[in-house]
Amino acid sequence: MNKIPNRAVMCEVLKEAAAQDRNVVVLCSDSRGSGSMTSFAEGYPKQFVEVGIAEQNLVSIAAGLASCGKKPFTVSPASFISTRGYEQCKVDCAYSNMNVKLVGISGGVSYGTLGMTHHSAQDIAAMSAIPGMRVYLPSDRHQTRKLFEALLRDRQTAYIRLGRNPVEDVYEENNVPFEMNKSTVLSEGTDVLLVACGEMVKPIQDAAKLLNEAGISTGALDMYCVKPLDKEGLLNAAAGKKLVVTAEEHAPFGGLGSMAAQVISANDPKRVINLALPDSPVITGTSKEVFAYYGLTGAGIADTVKKALGK
Amino acid sequence: MNPLSVKAYDLRQDVLDIIVSGGGGHIGGDMSSMEIVLTLYSRMNVSPERADDPDRDRFVLSKGHCVETLYAVLAWKGFLNIEEVKARFSRFGSEYIGHPHNTLPGIEMNSGSLGHGLSVCVGMALAGKMDGKAYRVYTLMGDGELAEGSVWEGAMAANHYHLDNLCAVVDRNHLQISGLTEQVMTPGDLSARFAAFGWHVIEVKDGNDVDQLSAAFDEAENTKGQPTVIIADTVKGKGSALMENKASWHHHLPNAEEYEIISRELRERKEALLRE
């Protein structure tokens, strides 16, 4: 069982980058602990900006830094940066074309029993609706490393959602297929395609295994980049399938499922089922308990597929 | 007589032309902020030849709706062609839109939604401190804009990081779209508020006087260890009695007769200045 959360990997990658490039800076909104950024703040105090509990200010300051050549990463809870700082993300980062990497930590229902104030089930929809904003939800620690290394090389704004808790590996350390802005095929199948992003990738990987064992040929696609959506990769993976099932830790509207269904219905219409959190505050529980309750587990997703196929 | 005072009236005519040509604009705040923006650009280390110079001073028009004044001043500085601005402002497909956009030369950041500029400038000033650069960072806010809570987040951070390379100006024209600032949302004692946030405060009695403004910018440059705010008491609609101190002229589009009246008064005031 992996014990290293994706946010800790982000910190390691950013420390490596900061050592080489003094323009790499991290900003936190009293969130260095929850963002695993304490060691960055201690190791690179001149490249760390504490903004206090002020997410609007956090995002605007980052944009100002970027306009002067800095490469800022804002690390703040996804629930706050994506809604409290939303207009600043839209105007100061995306619209002004600033190289700000907006990192939403403890995304989705990571904060579990703290309730809806701390859940970010709207961030994919909100961020994706901004012209010029890219949206990434890496699935495991190895892909997180690849993603942040790629983000350090480009000069455009992006929103990246990370979960709070360690997640089981999807990839092996020395075998992480990764192409920026392209989906990753986890397994091939002929009847069913499962598509997910972020913490739902491991469950679809598990579900594909269960379904293949049950004689239902199932492929799985890691759509870590939700925007720009890899339409070609999605349509290729969906070609010839009877059913596509998407899974995401997000509200049922405007997220990966909506976008995937939009592409499939316009190009290669077939049945698409979107699995997501409900259109209501989620039930009280840890994220694991919440996922289990709403069928967002390997077994739950496999059951949905079997029912849909009448098996 | 300061030649900039005369220039301000020439540029007011440009603003009037831009607005009438484009069929709309924020004329009241344009006119109140003219001397502030003009005085700033007369001193800032910026030029079209060195538009990307990392050592250039930075300006963010936080009250982005007064872009017509910015266009007129940027044209005066050689960044834009004023005749092109007049011909294309707000036209279909135009790059000259009703708020600042940084695809145009000389414009650093997009603005228009109020309450962003100060925080953006905090970032620019922090970058200057990190890199040991001598450039200065300026923003212009409206007095109505100070109701935005994000302004005070930025004010806090500017003090926390001792950003003495940052100077904010408040165009204190006492009016916003619905009426007097005091009636819309009591601003309280603005000087005391900024002072309580750790800022050096300069009150300019006549914010349409370029000499008073120049002295204030000098004082800001010489203030060390804390950011400076200049609260410039201005007249909304400055330039013609038709518009002055009238909230209804916040974004009123002058008709043909009003255009003539305002143009005539701008000429008369300019001539009076030249006789001084």
Q: Do the strands A184-187 and A101-105 form a parallel or antiparallel pair, or are they unpaired?
A: unpaired
Of B54, B116, B156, the CB nearest to A60: B116
> A6-161: which CATH topology?
Rossmann fold (3.40.50)
The rounded percent of chain A whose pLDDT value lies above 70 is 100
Looking at residue B186, its pLDDT comes to 95
Identify the closest residue of chain A to B116 by CA–CA distance. A60
Q: Which residues pair with A252 in a beta bridge?
A: none
Across the interface, do A61 and B54 touch by the CB < 8 Å criterion?
no
The span from the CA of A68 to the CA of A203, in Å, is: 42
Q: Three-state DSSP class for B167? A: strand
Residue appearing with tokens 């007095």: B143
Smallest CA–CA separation between A88 and chain B, in Å? 7
Mutate to test the interface with B, among A48, A55, A60 (most CBs of B within 10 A): A60
How many beta carbons lie within 10 A of that of residue A71, not counting itself? 24
Q: Given a cut of 90, is residue B172 above it in pLDDT?
A: yes
Choose among A67, A63, A73: nearest CA to A25: A73
Question: What are the tokens at B35?
Answer: 């001397």
Of B102, B112, B119, the CB nearest to A56: B119
Give the amino acid at A203.
Answer: P
Contact status, residue B26 vs residue B251, Cβ threshold 8 Å:
yes
pTM of the model: 0.97
User: For the structural domain made of B3-275, what CATH number should be given?
Assistant: 3.40.50.970
Of B110, B123, B150, the CB nearest to A64: B123
C-alpha R_g of chain A = 19
Smallest CA–CA separation between B9 and chain A, in Å? 31
Which band of pLDDT confidence, cut at 50, 70 and 90, is reported for residue B6? very high
**Section B88-112 average pLDDT:** 97
The rounded percent of chain B whose pLDDT value lies above 70 is 100
Looking at residue A138, its pLDDT comes to 98
Smallest CA–CA separation between B91 and chain A, in Å? 20
- DSSP character string of chain A: -----HHHHHHHHHHHHHHH-TTEEEEESS-TTTTT-HHHHHH-GGGEEE--S-HHHHHHHHHHHHHTT-EEEEEEEHHHHTTTTHHHIIIIIIITT---EEEEES-BTTTGGG-GGG-BSSHHHHHHTSTT-EEE---SHHHHHHHHHHHHH--S-EEEE--SS----SSBTTB----TT--EEEE--SSEEEEE-GGGHHHHHHHHHHHHHTT--EEEEE--EEETT-HHHHHHHHTT-SEEEEE-SS-SSSSHHHHHHHHHHHHS--EEEEE---SSPPPSS-HHHHHHHTT-SHHHHHHHHHHHTT-
> A184-308: which CATH topology?
Rossmann fold (3.40.50)
The span from the CA of B139 to the CA of A92, in Å, is: 15
All structural domains of chain A with their residue ranges: 6-161, 184-308
Q: Given a cut of 90, is residue B276 above it in pLDDT?
A: no
> Is the bond preceding residue A166 a cis peptide, omega within 30 degrees?
no
Looking at residue B8, its pLDDT comes to 98
A184-308 shares the fold of A6-161: yes
Of A62, A65, A88, the CB nearest to B116: A88
Q: Collect all residues of chain B within an 8 Å Cβ-Cβ radius of residue A67.
A: 58, 108-109, 120, 123-124, 127
Which band of pLDDT confidence, cut at 50, 70 and 90, is reported for residue B122? very high
Smallest CA–CA separation between A58 and chain B, in Å? 8
Choose among A38, A46, A52: nearest CA to A8: A38
Looking at residue B104, its pLDDT comes to 97
Across the interface, do B120 and A63 touch by the CB < 8 Å criterion?
yes
Mean pLDDT of chain B: 97
Smallest CA–CA separation between A28 and chain B, in Å? 13
Q: Note the ipTM here.
A: 0.97
**Section B59-79 average pLDDT:** 98
Q: What are phi and psi of A108, to 5 degrees?
A: 60, -130
Looking at residue A22, its pLDDT comes to 98
Looking at residue A62, its pLDDT comes to 98
Question: What are the tokens at B99?
Answer: 């708020």
Q: Do the strands A218-222 and B179-180 form a parallel or antiparallel pair, or are they unpaired?
A: unpaired
Give every residue of chain A whose pLDDT is below 70, as ranges. none
Mutate to test the interface with A, among B136, B141, B150 (most CBs of A within 10 A): B150
Give the amino acid at A292.
Answer: A
DSSP-derived letter for residue B146 is G
Residue A158 CB partners (closer than 8 Å, separation 6+) = A101, A102, A133, A134, A135, A136, A151
Q: Given a cut of 90, is residue B155 above it in pLDDT?
A: yes
Residues of B with CB under 8 A from a CB of A: 54, 58, 102, 108-113, 115-116, 119-128, 130-131, 149-150, 153-154, 156-157, 160
Q: Collect all residues of chain B within an 8 Å Cβ-Cβ radius of residue A76.
A: none
Looking at residue A1, its pLDDT comes to 87
All structural domains of chain B with their residue ranges: 3-275
Q: Collect all residues of chain B within an 8 Å Cβ-Cβ radius of residue A22.
A: 130
Looking at residue B1, its pLDDT comes to 85
Smallest CA–CA separation between A96 and chain B, in Å? 5
